[in-house]
Structure 1
Amino acid sequence: MGATLFMDFVALVQKHILAQLPLNYAMVGRWIGHMFKGRFIHQAIPESTPIRGERLIGWISHYLIGIIFAVVFLVSIGDAWMNRPTPLPAALFGVLTVLAPFLILQPAFGAGLAASCAPRPVVTRARSVLAHLSFGVGLWISALCLSALAA
């Protein structure tokens, strides 16, 4: 959960310092809500019918996905890393997780594969990579905090 919190902190800093709008997690909730109705792909997710509670669904999903990614990372890397966390494996894993929005979320939202149909695909891709890199850094920082508490 700490990694996702750090990712959200970085997004908040970008919003206030760089005036960049963060991802609207209500759209994630809308997408998930429509899945239960059998619709998985949208021409443009903002134009799809709103789902009751979509914002809450989106935020909960955001954190659950972050927890799942963190568990996958920890199972993959093993216990030794948790005892002496280093930034590189976590940062690389964070960047690797960008495949989820590139291959699943963005196409399903109507933005195309790796945001190829977005108004500014390169900017959208860069922001996605930065967000997921910050998740990886958050994994490392969280592990440092946990290992310090365990010591």
Structure 2
Amino acid sequence: MLETLGLAVLIGLGGTALLDVWNLLLNRTLGQPLPPWHLIGRWFAGLPRGQLVHRQGISSSAPIRGELAIGWCMHYVVGISFALVLLLIWGLEWAAMPTFGPALLVGLVTVGAGWFILQPGLGVGVACSNAPNPGLARMNNVVGHVVFALGMYLAARLFTAI
């Protein structure tokens, strides 16, 4: 199990880091805003106090000390968790000879975590239904998770080549 956890950390870090590079590229080339990690941190910090949903929107909730650091940390913890799911389903055999299909499937399925847990919790509705441009937000969610999947696949390829 220790080997699985170690690989999940490496693969999850790789996938999440590529997603961050992707977001930075979109920001620098198209002016797309970067993800609001401070608000994600605020949401996660509210969970232990029973605050799952911010009906008025997370930005109207009071800031939490360290919310930006919490948001960044949880971003990577979630990425590692998704990589662990990938390894628990497909096993170390997948990590030894990775293929893109399982990573893509996990990446696409995990879009649902954002659409049905995080985004309603932030107050932007199911699948960003209350966002200014829900279609664009949904497309960015799907593309971002495909990039995350590609990052997991590439990280697995890298670590099996070493």
Q: TM-score, normalised by structure 1?
A: 0.94
**Matched residues in 1 for 2:25 and 2:37: separation?**
17
* Unmatched runs of 5 consecutive residues or more in structure 2: 1-12
Give the aligned length.
149
**Which of these residues, 11, 25, 28, is aligned with residue 16 of structure 1?**
28
TM superposition shift of 1:130? 1.1
**Which of these residues, 42, 45, 62, is aligned with residue 58 of structure 2?**
45
Residue in 2 that maps onto 1:114: 127
Give runs of aligned pairs for residues 88-127 of structure 1, distance below 5 A. Answer: 88-127=101-140
Moved over 4 A (4+): none
Given the alignment of the two structures, is residue 4 of structure 1 paired with residue 4 of structure 2, yes or no? no
- Give a deviation string over 1:74-121, Cα, whole Å, max 9, x none: 111122221221112211211111111100011011111111111111
**Which of these residues, 144, 147, 159, is aligned with residue 131 of structure 1?**
144
**Which of these residues, 98, 101, 115, is aligned with residue 85 of structure 1?**
98
Q: CA RMSD in A?
A: 1.0
Q: TM-score, normalised by structure 2?
A: 0.88
TM superposition shift of 1:36? 3.0
2:86–2:102 contact (8 Å) kept in structure 1: no
